[in-house]
A = this chain, B = another copy of it.
Amino acid sequence: MAKRRTDLGAYQPEIVAGNGLLHRRALLGRGMMLAGAAATGVDGSLTSAAAEPMVDPAWTNAPGSLMLPYQVPSRFEKDVVRAVDNPNNLPRNTRARTPHHLLNGIITPNGLHFTICHGGVPDIDPAQHRLVIHGLVKRPLVFTLEDLARYPKVSRIGFVECGGNSAPLFSNTPIQANVTALHGLASCSEWTGVLLSTLLEETGIDPKAKWIIAEGADSPRLTRSVPVAKALDDAMIAMYQNGERIQPGQGYPMRLWLPGYEGNMNVKYIRRLQLTDQPTMSYYESRTYSQILPDGKAYRFYFLQEVKSFITSPSPGLALKDPGIYEVTGVAYSGTGRITKVMISADGGQSWGEAALQDPVLPKAFTRFRMPWRWNGGPAVLQSRAWDEGGNVQPLRADFVALRGQTSRPPDVGAFPSQHFNAITSWGVSNRGEVNHVYA
């Protein structure tokens, strides 16, 4: 007979904050973790947790299926997909959001990287695609993909986040939705390509050049202004994503990647970089992706994705089953650089304990944090708060909305306020183990 283990026995783990947050090493070496494992017969007789006798299942008794040249996830993972908000491809923008609550680690697999397109996903023939660098340069140049292949390349793990990610949190009441809907417009990959500074060494730069107008080859011809200083710092013409060619939703065959800058500036399908002495004031930067502050002024040309974190598990849709030990985990990131600390609260911010950060902690990349938590079966409010190496701290929601505003309208990208929300997210846990979005 199986016996489910349901408590920590006599062991009292080190509590570091209220409502059951345990020291991140409290359980190591204890052998008393009660994560629901069931006892089995001492002969290893495969008595299952539910005490039914275990027999070899079908897949152990018959050969498996064909091996695919390009492998796909198990059919049992069919619900682990991006949430697409324009499934009939009507003539407007479309967003596909990453289902963070079903993922783990820091890499977002290519199939699930978020996408926003303003005119559908283009089908670009890489042999015909060109990148032109012109304007205030000494030698205007045209690059094919084959040309770029010969240049020195760089690989770097880093995030891309839409400036409108987390826009629903500008609502003056907590919108009931899961992590996908609330924070699914950020993802993290290993990007490989040629540094833009390398190509600008080829073209030379006129000292008058201060801005670069970056233009995409898809039908909206999305155009954004990028400071030359950023281009010479860590900007990349990225051609590979997690090892393979960039997928169509991320800019196949090449995109501009500006580590830490808001998503739409990382112009996909990049075809043109024009060096100029002033920004272009394009539609996409003066209308779609500007942020109007409560005093009516624009928060325009504010590019940085500031320090942020959110808990991916537990989270809405992932109910807690029984009281006991759980892992609280999520991602933290900052456009400024490395994450230095993530604190967790289980009592709505009254007390905090420090989470473990998964190595390697990379600049401008997702950092996975983890912390053990003993849920006592009562109500709880889970929060995470991140710090970065620039000394920045993720703001409390109340402080953030006092400065940046909130709204009673349905929040959306393009509505205001909608941009650069980076305050704390709170998950309320009910005494039935349900998890909801709350303000605390």
A residues in contact (CB < 8 Å) with B: 2, 27-33, 35-44, 46-49, 54, 57, 59-77, 80-84, 86-89, 91, 94, 96, 102-113, 115, 117, 119-128, 130, 132, 134-135, 139-144, 146-155, 157, 189-192, 198, 201-202, 204, 217-219, 221, 239-240, 242-245, 247-249, 252-253, 269, 272, 274, 313, 321, 324-327, 329, 358, 360, 362, 368, 370, 372
Contact = CB atoms under 8 A, between A and B. Distances in A.
A25 to B, nearest CB: 9
Given A37-B143, A49-B142, A106-B190, A72 B240 contact: no
20 contacts: A2-B142, A37-B202, A38-B141, A41-B140, A46-B142, A47-B142, A59-B123, A64-B122, A64-B218, A65-B123, A66-B120, A68-B82, A69-B82, A71-B110, A72-B247, A103-B243, A105-B242, A150-B324, A153-B329, A242-B242
Nearest to A126: B76
A272 B274 CA distance: 60
B35 A150 contact: yes
B77 A244 contact: yes
A154 to B, nearest CB: 7
Contacts of A62: 219
Contact of A117 (B35, B42, B67, B242): B67
Contacts of A124: 57, 59, 74, 76
Chain A interface SS verdict (over half): loop
Copies of this chain, count:
2
Given A140-B42, A155-B104, A37 B147 contact: yes
B243 A107 contact: yes
Contacts of A132: 40, 44, 46
Contact of A107 (B38, B150, B190): B190
A365 B437 CA distance: 38
Contacts of A201: 28-31, 33
Contacts of A36: 144, 146-147, 150
A200 to B, nearest CB: 9
Nearest to A100: B243
A122 to B, nearest CB: 4
A38 to B, nearest CB: 5
A389 to B, nearest CB: 16
B94 A67 contact: yes
A247 B105 CA distance: 15
Task: Give 6 closest A-B pairs by Cβ, nearest first.
Answer: A44-B134, A64-B120, A69-B81, A35-B150, A59-B122, A31-B201
Contacts of A128: 57
Given A64-B218, A219-B63, A70 B111 contact: yes
A43 B49 CA distance: 72
Contact of A244 (B27, B73, B321): B73
Give the most central of A103, A109, A325: most B CB within 10 Å.
Answer: A109
A124 B153 CA distance: 40
Nearest to A372: B152
B64 A121 contact: yes
